[in-house]
Structure 1
Amino acid sequence: MPSLRKRLMALDPTTVSTVLSLLPTILEQANKTIEKLKKNKRKDGTPEGAVADTRDPAARIAELEAAAVQQAEAVKLLAEQHAITIDALRKEAARLDRRLRLMTAVAMGGVALGLGGLVIALNLLFR
């Protein structure tokens, strides 16, 4: 299994920067979740494993709906970033395909010129 460094070195810089741009969003969501858990723990005063749910069910539903909307927005943002990554990968693949075709044509031209030169040299040699 190749090392992480080798795998990262094989990636296009555009792809790496796009993927790295996702990290702040993930960290931000993680920090928000941690802060929320800390605030709930301070308010309730219950131990970590215990769940104290004495709130109004309507308030709890509203809170859950708000959390679902927030998560949906985070998923939407991640989907947009993935679409940007996919678009960058497609552009890079098209660029590499054009480059491969050009290099193939240049190599074919070189072979044709080499063979032509060889034929001329052999004709001059055996005259």
Structure 2
Amino acid sequence: MPSLRKRLMALDPATVSTVLSLLPTILEQANKTIEKIKKGKRKGEAPGAPDLVENRDPAARIAELEAAVVQQAEAVKMLAEQHAITIEALRKEAARLERRLRLMTGVAMAGVALGLGGLVIAINLLFR
């Protein structure tokens, strides 16, 4: 069974470009998440600074958090759809490669059979 690296190297360029086209979106979402985490840590690290979050109306804060949750849910949904597209493209590519492998195996077997047959005929003609 071929290694994963050999399988990945044999992928169709169209499939690879599809997967690569999704990477910027994934990286963008990851960077946004990292920035939000960093901002949260900065606010928590300032010991003498007044916390603006605590001074706001709780209803406004809840609404803000709900909006953030909806936004994150939409981002997750978009990423899930992109992953589904990628997985489908990889499945199609794997099926195509499987068909190609079977075809090439059959051609190789026929070539070996013809080669052996030709060798037998040549040996018979040589020793007559």
Q: Same fold (TM over 0.5)?
A: yes
Whether contact under 8 Å (2:19, 2:86) holds in the other structure is: yes
1:77 CA drift (Å): 0.1
Counterpart of 1:96 in structure 2 is 97
Residue 111 of structure 1: CA displacement? 0.4
Aligned residue pairs: how many? 114
Counterpart Cα distance in 2 of 1:73 and 1:106: 49
Shift, 1:105, TM fit: 0.4
Deviation at 1:55, TM superposition (A): 0.8
Structure 2: 5+ residue stretches without partners: none
Contact 1:19 1:85 in 2 (8 A): no
TM superposition shift of 1:10: 2.8
Distance 1:32 1:102, change over 3 A: closer
Give distance in 2, aligned partners of 1:104 and 1:126.
33
Which amino acid in structure 2 is aligned with residue 112 of structure 1?
A
Runs of 4+ in 1 over 6 A off after TM superposition: none
Query: Mapping of 1:50-89 within 5 angstroms?
Result: 50=46, 51-52=51-52, 53-89=54-90
Distance, in Å, in 1 between the alignment partners of 2:86 and 2:31 is 22
TM-score (norm 1): 0.71
- Which one-letter code corresponds to 1:124 in the other structure? L
Work out the percentage of aligned pairs sharing the same amino acid.
Answer: 63
TM-score normalised by L of structure 2: 0.71
Which structure has more relative contact order (CA 8 Å, sep 6+)? It is 2
Q: How far apart are 1:71 and its partner, in Å?
A: 0.1
Give the whole-Å Cα distance in 2 for the aligned partners of 1:11 and 1:108. Answer: 22
Note the 1:1-127 alignment, pairs <5 A. Answer: 10=9, 12=11, 13=13, 14-24=15-25, 26-27=27-28, 30=31, 49-50=45-46, 51-52=51-52, 53-127=54-128
CA offsets, 1:41-91, max 9 Å, x none? xxxxxx784432211111111110110010000000000000000001001
Q: C-alpha displacement at 1:92, in angstroms?
A: 0.6
